[in-house]
Amino acid sequence: MTGAMIGGMHGASAQRAPLAIVTGANRGIGREVARQLLKGGLDVVLTARDAEKGEAVVAALCAEGLSPAFHVLDVARDASVAAFADWLRHAHGRCDVLVNNAGIAIDGWDTPLENLPLDVLQRTLDTNLFGVLRVARALLPLMRAGGYGRIVNLSSGMGQLSDMQAGAPAYRISKTALNAATRILARELADGDFKVNSMCPGWVRTDMGGPNATRSVQEGADTAVWLATLAEDGPTGGFFRDRQPIPW
C-alpha cells in the first residue's frame, strides 16, 4: 500500500515514511484511520481536542506495538490550529498526508430546515467546513514545500445533492459544502503531486453512528486509508465509498 506512495514522493521525503495528520482521532473512524496508517508504515500524528483522551489512544496504540505522536487540536479555533501548525513545522518540518476526520452532528433528524436554529448551523459549519479549511490552509505550505500531498475529507452520503433528503439539515449542508471545497482545492492543486478527495464511510458503528449501524470502524476507515496512500496516478477531486466513485 505505501510502497507506491513513498516511491512517488520527492526529495528528502522519499527517503522516509510519509507523515500523516489525522484530526479527531481520539475515537471511532479517526482512531482506526490512524491505526491502519501506522500499520501501513506511515508516521502518524493523531489529534483531538481533549489531551487526556488523545494520550489514552496513544497508549492503546503503543500497546499494539505502534508508535503514534499526539498533539491537541481544536479545528474550530484559529489559535489552536495556528499553534498546531507551528508545532508541526518545528517538530517535524513536513506534512505529507492530512485526513480531515474531525466533525460534529448536533442537529436532530426531526429538525426541519425552516426551524433550524442558525447558531446550530453556524457551529456545525465552523467544525465540518471551516475547521477543514483552517487546518488545510495552515498545513498546505508544508505540503507544497515537500512537493507532495494527500488530503482526505471525511464527508457523508447525507451531503449528496443527487440524493438529498430531509433530516439533520445542518449536518447535510456542512457535508455538501465540504464536497464543494474538495472539488475547488483539487483543481487548485492539480499541477503537482497532490490529491484531494472526499469519502463517505457509510453507516458505521461509532458514537455518532450508533450501535445499530451496519459497518465496523475497520470498514468505515478503509476508503480513507486508500485515498491517503494513493499513488501519483491516483484520482483527485472525487467522492468515494468502498473505493468506488459515487455521485455528488
* Domains identified in the chain, total number: 1
Per-residue pLDDT at 211: 76
Residue 148 is a catalytic residue = no
User: pLDDT, tens digit, for every residue of 17-50?
Assistant: 999 999 999 999 999 999 999 999 999 999 999 9
User: Which residue is catalytic, options 70, 171, 226, 239?
Assistant: 171
Report the C-alpha gap between 131 and 102 in whole angstroms: 8
Structural domain span for residue 241 = 2-245
Per-residue cell: 179: 464536497
Per-residue cell: 192: 503537482
The answer to whether the CB of 142 falls within 8 A of the CB of 95 is yes
Q: What is the pTM of this model?
A: 0.93
Q: What is the mean pLDDT of residues 97-108?
A: 96
Bridging pattern class, strands 97-100 and 148-154 = parallel
Say yes or no to pLDDT of 230 above 80: yes
How confident is the prediction for the chain on average, in pLDDT? 92
CATH (domain of 8): 3.40.50.720
User: pLDDT, tens digit, for every residue of 168-215?
Assistant: 999 999 999 999 999 999 999 999 999 999 999 975 666 666 677 667
User: pLDDT, tens digit, for every residue of 107-150?
Assistant: 988 999 999 999 999 999 999 999 999 999 999 999 999 999 99
Q: Of 53, 40, 39, which Cα lies nearest the Cα of 207?
A: 53
